[in-house]
């Protein structure tokens, strides 16, 4: 068995032969179809895999009730030939003549990292950090972030909102002229209703509201999920999104995907028995679990920055959080697997696991009772550590109760179409 086949593609702002771009009305460069000149500009993806020394990728979140963060990656390139040196006018990525041109080694170039043809990271190179070596064995470190970094640097104009579902609000925000998001997106139907100016309070968007913060605020009001997928798709899931069947089974006995390490957690990190919630719709809503407080003392969770249109929805969100976190849960929180030890088919199963994918983990014991423990979990983090001799993948896991379960007469969880029956 061998490691997955890695491919690193970097998109350069380029023309044919990375030459002089088309310039309107220019006597030389204003003529199309001229070799190396007068070519309409755009992105040309170049395969730089032969220069890659190692890759580190980290995506997702470290704990529940946090938002998914911008996915990060670092790619180390061997740069003895100086093709990636922005000072090298002989670089194939230099645009124009050495005297009047400019380097193509620029921040914000797109990057795609594939393994066995499967996208494991899609983002932008935010900085090129070049280490010169006295023996000319230079290394270039490309620091990368996914498109959440673009959202984090965008400010919204002032907008008047209307009462609408969370998913409608997400699509409307992405369509604002100051955003005009053109990337691939996957937005499922939301269940919560967000307030508008016709409601009991003003839910309008203030000038210079941060785009990413506002999207995450909408997501909190839904108790949904938002992240950039490994293939670069902006992904937003409402709480009513149906959990899919398990996409992979990890098992140390050879019947599933093998793993090297497995973490188990049982603590108070996610213990909350007093919950405070509020939106502009009305007063603060509180809920608590007396038995949990008596046993564990008061552990408070507060979210007073919601956008829900009614206090009934706000109270329902508080009850949902309380129901999930009033009692500590024993669960597997993560594992690591070496892909080089797996068959190509099993490698591809592991590589296709993305954020919010469902996986089954089986731990077998040689002593004690029971003899095994099986948990069905949601992937909340994916990390890759890739070197010439190893490809380690680590997954963070959360419990699969992210969907609301049916609760009779509850404003949020009392609709069978949107929630699962709990027995």
Domain with residue 381: its CATH number is 2.40.30
Q: Running DSSP on this structure, what letter comes out for residue 39?
A: B
Instruction: Give every residue of the chain whose pLDDT is below 70, as ranges.
Output: 14-41, 199-200, 401-423
Report how far residue 140's alpha carbon sits from residue 84's, in angstroms, rounded to the nearest whole number.
7
Q: Does residue 418 belong to any structural domain of this protein?
A: no
Report how far residue 65's alpha carbon sits from residue 81's, in angstroms, rounded to the nearest whole number.
47
| Same domain, yes or no: 254 and 343 | yes
Report how far residue 281's alpha carbon sits from residue 258's, in angstroms, rounded to the nearest whole number.
50
Q: What is the pLDDT of residue 421?
A: 34
Residues 6+ apart with CB under 8 A from 180: none
Tell which residue, 349, 171, 113, has the closest CA to residue 246: 349
| Same domain, yes or no: 393 and 255 | yes
Q: What is the pLDDT of residue 402?
A: 42
Tell which residue, 203, 136, 124, has the closest CA to residue 163: 203
| Same domain, yes or no: 358 and 292 | no
Residue 311's domain spans which residues?
274-325
Q: Running DSSP on this structure, what letter comes out for residue 37?
A: B
Residue 362: phi and psi, rounded to 5, are -120, 125
- Token duo for residue 86: 């922005």
Q: Does residue 300 belong to any structural domain of this protein?
A: yes
Residue 257: phi and psi, rounded to 5, are -75, 130
* DSSP per-residue letters across 297-362: ---EEEE----BSSHHHHHHHHHHHHHHHSS---EEEEEEEEGGGS-HHHHHHHHT--TT-EEEEE
Residues 6+ apart with CB under 8 A from 19: 35, 36, 37, 39, 95, 96
Residue 64: phi and psi, rounded to 5, are -65, 160
Rounded alpha-carbon distances, angstroms, from residue 256 to 253, 287, 360: 7, 42, 9
| Same domain, yes or no: 15 and 134 | yes
| Same domain, yes or no: 133 and 259 | no
Q: What is the pLDDT of residue 403?
A: 42
Q: What is the pLDDT of residue 320?
A: 85
Q: Does residue 414 belong to any structural domain of this protein?
A: no
| Same domain, yes or no: 86 and 59 | yes
| Same domain, yes or no: 21 and 139 | yes
Report how far residue 314's alpha carbon sits from residue 106's, in angstroms, rounded to the nearest whole number.
46
Q: Are 366 and 26 in contact (CB under 8 A)?
A: no
| Same domain, yes or no: 166 and 224 | yes
| Same domain, yes or no: 231 and 344 | no
Number of Cβ within a 10 Å radius of residue 309: 24
Strand order in the sheet with 300-303: 285-288, 274-277, 300-303
Q: Are 355 and 382 in contact (CB under 8 A)?
A: yes
| Same domain, yes or no: 73 and 165 | no
Residues 6+ apart with CB under 8 A from 32: 22, 38, 39, 40
Report how far residue 53's alpha carbon sits from residue 44's, in angstroms, rounded to the nearest whole number.
22
- Token duo for residue 27: 């006597």
Number of domains observed in the structure of the chain: 4
Q: What is the pLDDT of residue 200?
A: 62
Q: What is the pLDDT of residue 187?
A: 97
Report how far residue 129's alpha carbon sits from residue 43's, in angstroms, rounded to the nearest whole number.
22
Q: Does residue 407 belong to any structural domain of this protein?
A: no
Prior bond to 37 cis, omega within 30? no
Q: Does residue 242 belong to any structural domain of this protein?
A: no
| Same domain, yes or no: 133 and 159 | no
Q: What is the pLDDT of residue 40?
A: 47
Q: Are 340 and 266 in contact (CB under 8 A)?
A: no
Q: Does residue 321 belong to any structural domain of this protein?
A: yes
| Same domain, yes or no: 307 and 377 | no
Q: What is the pTM of this model?
A: 0.86
Residues 6+ apart with CB under 8 A from 324: 401
Q: What is the pLDDT of residue 34?
A: 45
């Amino acid at each position: 068995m061998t490691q997955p086949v890695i491919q690193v593609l970097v998109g350069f702002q380029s023309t044919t032969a990375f030459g002089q771009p088309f310039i309107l009305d220019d006597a030389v460069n204003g003529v199309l179809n001229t070799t190396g000149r007068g070519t309409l500009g755009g992105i040309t993806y170049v395969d730089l895999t032969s220069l890659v020394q190692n890759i580190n990728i980290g995506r997702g979140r470290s704990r529940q009730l946090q938002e998914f963060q911008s996915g990060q990656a670092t790619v180390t390139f061997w740069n003895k030939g100086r093709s990636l040196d922005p000072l090298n006018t002989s670089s194939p990525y230099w645009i124009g003549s050495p005297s009047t041109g400019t380097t193509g080694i620029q921040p914000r170039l797109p990057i795609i990292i594939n393994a066995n043809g499967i996208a494991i990271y899609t983002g932008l190179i935010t900085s090129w950090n070049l280490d010169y070596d006295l023996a000319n064995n230079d290394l270039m470190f490309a620091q990368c972030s996914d498109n959440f970094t673009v959202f984090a640097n965008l400010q919204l104009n002032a907008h008047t909102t209307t009462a609408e579902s969370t998913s409608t609000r997400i699509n409307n925000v992405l369509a604002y002229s100051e955003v005009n998001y053109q990337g691939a997106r996957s937005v499922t139907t939301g269940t919560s209703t967000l307030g508008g100016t016709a409601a009991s309070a003003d839910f309008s968007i203030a000038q210079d509201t941060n785009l990413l913060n506002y999207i995450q605020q909408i997501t909190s009001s839904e108790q949904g999920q938002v992240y950039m997928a490994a293939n670069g798709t902006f992904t937003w899931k409402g709480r009513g999104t149906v959990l899919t069947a398990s996409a992979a089974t990890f098992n140390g006995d050879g019947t599933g995907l093998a793993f090297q390490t497995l973490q188990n957690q049982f603590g108070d990190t996610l213990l909350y028995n007093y919950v405070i919630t509020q939106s502009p719709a009305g007063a603060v809503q509180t809920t608590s679990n007396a038995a949990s407080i008596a046993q564990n003392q008061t552990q408070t969770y507060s979210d007073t920055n919601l956008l829900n249109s009614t206090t009934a929805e706000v109270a329902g969100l508080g009850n949902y959080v309380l129901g999930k976190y009033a009692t500590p849960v024993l669960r597997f929180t993560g594992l690591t697997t070496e892909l080089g030890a797996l068959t190509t088919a099993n490698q591809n199963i592991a590589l296709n696991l993305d954020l919010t994918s469902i996986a089954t983990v089986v731990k077998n014991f040689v002593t004690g009772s029971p003899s095994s423990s099986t948990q069905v979990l949601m992937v909340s983090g994916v990390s890759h550590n890739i070197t010439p001799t190893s490809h380690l993948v680590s997954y963070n896991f959360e419990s699969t109760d992210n969907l609301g379960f049916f609760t009779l007469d509850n404003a949020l969880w009392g609709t069978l179409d949107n929630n699962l029956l709990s027995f």
